[in-house]
Amino acid sequence: MAKGQTEILGIAIVVVLVIMGLLFLLRFSTPGDSDILKQRLGRAQIANNVISAMLATSDTVCDAVKKPRLQDLLIDCAENQPSGSVVCKQQSTKPTLSCQYVKGVIAEEILAKTVEKWKYGYEFSVKREDKLIIPELKKTSAGQDGKCPAIAELDSQEYPLPTTTDIIKVKLKICN
């Protein structure tokens, strides 16, 4: 009996050690709170930098003389819905009005070469209250059209832009 008990005790000790080892492994393989916070701050900072740099960018492709900023084109689009009034690329065979033009530039020249290239998903919108000024731009982190997955962590920045009558909001959400 005593022998049997000793053997059972030995097995029990081994089982306890294995469980402790697994718990130890689990503890250090999942990201800690500070890592998650760092990732979130990083995404929020990227969103902030993209919007502020993008809005300040002067577009010589739209008009080499007037060089309107992208924020000016967005404001023009908001004030002259649904297409905008500024004609971009007047000298080319395909002049385009500001709404369609600025949407294309933001999607293909700004977001595609930054957020999308860095394998983040995004949702970009420009709204007056809850109404979209230009169609929402969204991509998943895999590069497919669509919203960020519901379970993904989203971090965003919002910029207000004043028009002559009210304020429109430029918002960029970024997810992993």
Partner 1 sequence: MSTHLLIMKKAQVKMGENIAVLLLFTVLLVLGIIFYVQYQRGALRDELREQRLKDAIQISQRIAYLPEVQCSEDAIQKENCYDGVKIEKATPILKANKNYYYGILGYSKVEIELLYPPSDAKTILFYDNKKPGTVSEEMVQAPIAVYLPNEDRYVFAVLKVVAYG
Q: What is the number of other CB atoms lying within 10 angstroms of the CB of residue 59?
A: 22
Q: Which two tokens stand for residue 164?
A: 């002559």
Stretch that binds partner 1, among 42-50, 82-90, 123-131, 163-171 (CB under 8 A): 42-50
Q: Distance between CA 112 and CA 116 in Å, rounded?
A: 5
90 near partner 1 (CB under 8 A): no
- 3-state per-residue secondary structure call for 71-125: HHHHHHHHHCCCCCCCEECCCCCCCEEHHHHHHHHHHHHHHCCCCCCCCCEEEEE
* Residue 114 within binding range of partner 1, rule CB under 8 A: yes
Taking the least distance from each CB to partner 1, the nearer of 104 and 160 is 104
Q: Which region among 9-17, 74-82, 85-93, 155-163 touches partner 1 (by CB under 8 A)? A: 9-17
10 near partner 1, rule: CB under 8 A? yes
User: Would you say 10 or 146 has its CB closer to partner 1?
Assistant: 10
CB count in 10 Å sphere of residue 80:
14
Residues that bind partner 1 in the complex, under the rule CB under 8 A: 10, 14, 17, 21, 28, 45-46, 49-50, 52-54, 56-61, 67, 69, 105, 109-110, 113-114, 118
